[in-house]
Amino acid sequence: MNRKMKRRVSGLLIGIAFIGIIVLLVMTFSDGRHSEYVAKAITLKHDVDEPHAEIARLKRQLALLKKKGCNLEEDLISLPVIFAVTPTYARPEQKAELTRLYQTLLLVPNLHWVIVEDAEAPTPLVKNLLASSGLSHTHLHAHTPPAQKLKAKDPHWAKPRGVLQRNTALEWLRSDGPLKVAPINPDGEPLGVVYFADDDNSYSIRLFEEMRYVQNVGVWPVGLVGGLMVERPLPSSDGRGVASFNAGYKPERPFPIDMAGFAINLATLRNHPDAKFLYEVQPGYQESQLLKQLTTKQELEVLADNCTKVYVWHTRTDKPKMREELQWKAQGRPPSNQDIEV
């Protein structure tokens, strides 16, 4: 190689090294900037006070800690179990309601869904929905006697709904069933709290963490019920339970509160084996019927920021109109949902 060639090669090598250094520098800086952005995004996420984001974050942390050999699940399973009791019955919107509900319940740690079908036997629709939900669950059924069933033309308040189904759930809750699901205290009793979660209400997942450590009976406001924007217990100024309720509908009731507005410690229910719902009470008295057997106004545990926050709404779903479906039937055409579960 002559001198000229040598100079060219070394020039080329210096050039390549120079470009390499530039590329490395750019990569390092851009990478640094990138991780800065990621860090910012994570910080922002933490700032957003959203429980589902928090749960997702904690799940990721749990996975990480498990990888490192920690066993946090031991602690997680010692949380009291929330037993959500849902009566449900077959109608066009049933699967939509149950899908909405179970996908909310999936975001709640240590929750057991006690679903009670108003049917002579468990239906495949509910059975398959439960199986595919991934939720811990118990599937019960109890058929409302025809005399107690609402007729098509009846107003919805003419008959109490879900009475037999909730009582069936109460029986299960007092059996050995919960022992297989919940952590057990030193007396051999299951640790949990019971909540009556109708299939058509709307629930914030914050509600469930409010109720988890209820000692006896906990209460909170319910939105869109009793003809008011919000029905709520009014806490005593001396810190002892509830002084009164703001209800407009039948305020003379012992507990003028909706089914969605309270949760009961499982031990309280197991210590009062006869406490249950009854068909033979006036409309609007189901909640009072149960609660007066278990507690007093002064003993109620006031939750949801002293009953100033709404985490559950008594929404009701419009009955879907089936005009075309009925016309098709009259014309002898097959239903739109033939072989399709809706």
Which of 80/112 has CB closer to ligand UDP?
112
- 203 beta partners: 312
**Residue 161 engages ligand UDP in binding (rule: CB under 6 A):** yes
Residue 87 makes contact with ligand UDP by CB under 6 A:
yes
Q: Which residue is at the shortest CB distance from ligand UDP? A: 162
Residues near Mn ion, by CB under 5 A:
198, 200
Query: Does residue number 265 form part of the binding site for ligand UDP (CB under 6 A)?
Result: no
Structure tokens at 29: 């800086």
| Region near ligand UDP per CB under 6 A, out of 24-32, 159-167, 178-186, 321-329 | 159-167
Sign for the pseudo-dihedral over CA of 9, 15, 16, 18: positive
Find the largest Cα–Cα distance for the chain.
112
165 interacts with ligand UDP by CB under 6 A:
yes
Told to check if 162 binds ligand UDP by CB under 6 A, we report yes
In DSSP terms, 235 is beta-bridged to 242
Query: Considering only CA atoms, which of 199, 260, 195, 196 is closest in space to residue 230?
Result: 260
Q: Does 100 bind ligand UDP (CB under 6 A)?
A: no
**How near is the Cβ of 312 to ligand UDP at its closest, in Å?**
12
93 contributes a contact to ligand UDP by CB under 6 A: no
- Three-state SS for 110? coil
Which of the ranges 144-152, 186-194, 245-253, 305-313 carries the binding residues for ligand UDP, by CB under 6 A? 144-152
- For ligand UDP, what does the binding mask look like between residues 299 and 338, x meaning CB under 6 A? -----------------x----------------------
What values do phi and psi take at 137, rounded to 5? -155, 160
Alpha carbons 147 and 164: distance in angstroms, whole number: 13
DSSP string, 182-247: S-B-TTSPBPEEEEE--TTSEE-THHHHHHTT-SSEEE--EEEETTEEEE-EEE-TTSSSEEEE--
> Using CA atoms, how far apart are residues 197 and 222, in angstroms rounded to an integer?
12
- Catalytic residue list contains 299: no
CB 235 within 8 A of CB 245: no
Exactly one of 287, 299, 324, 325 is catalytic; name it.
287
Residue 323 contacts which entry, Mn ion, ligand UDP, none (Cβ below 5-8 A, type-dependent): none
Least separation, in Å, of the C-beta of 200 and ligand UDP? 5
Q: Of the ranges 5-13, 27-35, 45-53, 195-203, which one interacts with ligand UDP (CB under 6 A)?
A: 195-203
Residue 87 interaction partner, one of Mn ion, ligand UDP, none, beta carbon < 5-8 Å per kind: ligand UDP
Cβ atoms of 270 and 185 within 8 Å: the answer is no
> How many residues in the shown chain lie near ligand UDP by CB under 6 A?
16
Among 118, 210, 231, 301, binds ligand UDP (CB under 6 A): 118
Task: Compute the distance between CA of residue 82 and CA of residue 111 in angstroms, rounded to an integer.
Answer: 5
**Which residue ranges make up the site for ligand UDP (CB under 6 A)?**
86-89, 118, 144, 149-150, 156, 161-162, 165, 198-200, 316
**Residues labelled as active-site residues:** 287
